[in-house]
Amino acid sequence: MWRGMCCVRNHVEVKSEKEVIRGVQWRNQYMISVVKRPKPVVTVTPDQRVFRGETVTLTCDIQGGGNFQWTYSWFKDASVIRHVTERVYTITSVSDNSGEYSCRGERSDSQRSDTSAAVTLTVSGEYLNPKPELMSDSAGAALTGNTVTLTCRMNLSPEWDFYWYKHTLNSETKKKKTNSYRVKIDSVSDGGQYWCRAGRGEPVYYTQYSDALWVNVTGERKHNDDHLSDSSRGAGGSYTLSPAALQHTGVYTCRAERGRPAYYTNASFLFSGVSPSVSLVVSPSRSQHFSSDSLSLSCEDQSNSTGWTVRRYTDRNTEDCSKLTGSTCQIVSLNTSDAGVYWCQSESGEKRHPLNITVHDGDVILLSSVDPVIEGDTLTLHCLHRSTNSSILRADFYKDGSLVQNQTTGEMNITTVSKSHEGLYYCKTERGQSLHSWISVRGLEMMSDFMYVCNFIIHCH
């Protein structure tokens, strides 16, 4: 109770400890007033539900306590928290701090406030911090001129901000209050990997990064060139050469038309050919490569003839390798613009052994054979990390967009490969996602007919 002076003999009673009696003399009489003790209120920032590692601030607010200096007592689960006497109680990097918190104040004249109602602080014990899921409204390759909306999906309270990353996790971030981000596709360079994460508080507590989301972009322009023939047009997405001949070797592109006037998009390019005596040898021997890595491509002729050079088709252009020494193409530092189809070409124009090379700016690539797999052999895939140049032990492997294997060994093996295993493969890890690679399966005997299949998915807004 408040300890005040009372001089009214037996006519004054104190009804409870929460009441105060004040006496004021007036014309030989006393006026008695009863005052309740002030009751503090505890507020929690940023939230009463927090994640491990966050910083939490609890504040004890006392209203109507007068112009006195206060000291504070804090309680957790009704037990006093020693050595905490300030109005603001900060818990850095919460872990096992779940419980009910309350406070009480004491004035400089030794009077006490009431004890506040308890607030419950819950620290999530399921994980160190949450991980968002990054999604796109584009169900395939995005066309230049369109807009792609990315959504960083999490069940979070409104005080979280969202941070967006493009190409690398060290790139400049875009901070937004909402969990959606609209990407205007002005050029092919707007494609690539995107990540998101959320943050709140000061200093900022961040969630985990989302898995990388790959946004594929293809150019869109008015259709004004010729088709191979009328038979090449159709809704089936395939074009057949029968019988195939050596002169059919070359670069083939496939395009999908839309509307009138017709617009098309390049989906991919494939290469035809027959078993040659000349081989294109790639070092390192894989179809996917990291940007800034080196790459060597050499034409090796079993008949020991000379005159073969490495040529390539990149971004709709056919050209000699820019770093050509004899029959060897040496690229010291790869760029994404170096991605394309490479082959050996003779002085007379003969083309041999085409191979598809992709270059990735991200941190993860799919390690697979650069050449087609022979039926009956074993297909082995690895998910390779840029900084360690070694397999990532925890990886998911996908074929044609569907999960086929979860692995903790960093590799996927398919024994006795058949034609049904042919398809578009990629891998995904917590460190990022690889590009897609088409893995071909070839029979032991050469076939007289060749079919070129254009594999693509188009989504138009």
Whether pLDDT at 93 is above 80: yes
* Integer Cα distance of 31 and 41 in angstroms: 31
Domain pair 41-124 / 133-218, same fold: yes
Q: Express each pLDDT in 217-252 by its tens digit.
A: 765 643 334 344 444 454 455 666 655 555 566 666
CATH topology of domain 133-218: Immunoglobulin-like (2.60.40)
Residue of higher predicted confidence among 125 and 103: 103
Whether pLDDT at 101 is above 50: yes
Q: Express each pLDDT in 318-370 by its tens digit.
A: 777 767 777 888 898 998 888 888 888 888 878 888 888 888 888 889 998 88
Q: Express each pLDDT in 49-60 by its tens digit.
A: 888 888 899 999
Calculate the CA dihedral of residues 416, 418, 424, 429 and round it to 10 degrees.
-20
- Tell me the backbone φ, ψ of residue 69, rounded to 5 degrees: -85, 130
Whether pLDDT at 7 is above 80: no
Domains in the chain: boundaries: 41-124, 133-218, 220-270, 363-445
Q: Express each pLDDT in 417-441 by its tens digit.
A: 998 888 888 888 887 888 888 888 8
Match 């398919």 to its residue by tokens. Answer: 414
Mean pLDDT, rounded, for 23-45: 73
Q: What pTM was estimated for this model as a whole?
A: 0.48
| DSSP string for 158-178 | TT-EEEEEESSTTSPPEEESS
Calculate the CA dihedral of residues 360, 362, 366, 370 and round it to 10 degrees.
10
Residue 88's pLDDT is what? 95
Tokens of 261: 């006037």
Mean pLDDT, rounded, for 29-52: 82
Whether pLDDT at 200 is above 80: yes
Match 């017709």 to its residue by tokens. Answer: 262
Q: How confident is the model at residue 306 (pLDDT cuts 50, 70, 90)?
A: low
The number of beta carbons lying within 10 Å of the beta carbon of residue 355 is: 20
Whether pLDDT at 73 is above 50: yes
Residue 399's pLDDT is what? 87
Q: How confident is the model at residue 460 (pLDDT cuts 50, 70, 90)?
A: very low
User: Would you say 196 and 130 are in contact if contact means Cβ atoms under 8 Å apart?
Assistant: no
Buried b (16+ CB within 10 A) or exposed e, 50-85: bbbebbbebbbebeeeeeeebebbbbbeeeeeeebe
Mean pLDDT, rounded, for 401-412: 81
- Tell me the backbone φ, ψ of residue 188, rounded to 5 degrees: -60, -25
* Integer Cα distance of 318 and 340 in angstroms: 10
User: For strand 317-320 and strand 278-283, is the pairing parallel, antiparallel, or unpaired?
Assistant: unpaired
* Integer Cα distance of 230 and 288 in angstroms: 35
Name the CATH superfamily housing domain 41-124. Answer: Immunoglobulins (2.60.40.10)
Residue 222's pLDDT is what? 38
Name the CATH superfamily housing domain 363-445. Answer: Immunoglobulins (2.60.40.10)
Mean pLDDT, rounded, for 380-395: 82
- The one-letter amino acid code at 343 reads W
